[in-house]
């Protein structure tokens, strides 16, 4: 029984680069965030590694992917793969379980 994204409510989405796919059905995604430092006004780039569920083992290292927040699936994993993107941002492939509006 698959649910549409409207039934699931608003969930956070992030776009990042796959840095590891060595685990079973899990990928590690590096998400970049750029912001201006409040005091020094310099643009700072920070990174965060997020663990995402990849049911079909579709994503490869170096791919640009879109991930979506979900319920906790394990100690570290609380995101799931939505799309694998082309470098220009268009959708390359979608996992079979994902439903788009």
- Is pTM beyond 0.75? Reply is yes
Phi and psi torsions of 6, nearest 5°: -70, -35
Tens digits of residue pLDDT in 31-82 = 999 999 999 999 999 999 999 999 999 999 999 999 999 999 999 999 999 9
pLDDT given at position 5:
53
Which pLDDT band holds residue 9 (cuts at 50, 70, 90)? confident
Which positions ≥6 away from 24 have C-beta within 8 Å?
none
Find out if CATH 2.40.50.140 is the number for domain 5-93.
yes
Q: Where exactly are the structural domains of the chain?
A: 5-93
């Amino acid at each position: 029984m698959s649910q549409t994204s409207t039934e699931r409510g608003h969930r956070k989405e992030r776009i990042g680069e796959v840095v590891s796919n060595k685990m079973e059905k899990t990928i590690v995604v590096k998400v970049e965030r750029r912001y201006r430092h409040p005091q020094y006004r310099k643009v700072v780039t920070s990174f965060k590694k997020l663990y995402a569920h990849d049911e079909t083992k579709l994503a490869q290292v170096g791919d640009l992917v879109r991930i979506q927040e979900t319920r906790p699936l394990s100690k570290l994993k609380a995101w799931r793969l939505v799309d694998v993107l082309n470098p220009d941002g268009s959708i390359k492939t979608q996992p079979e379980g994902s439903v788009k509006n």
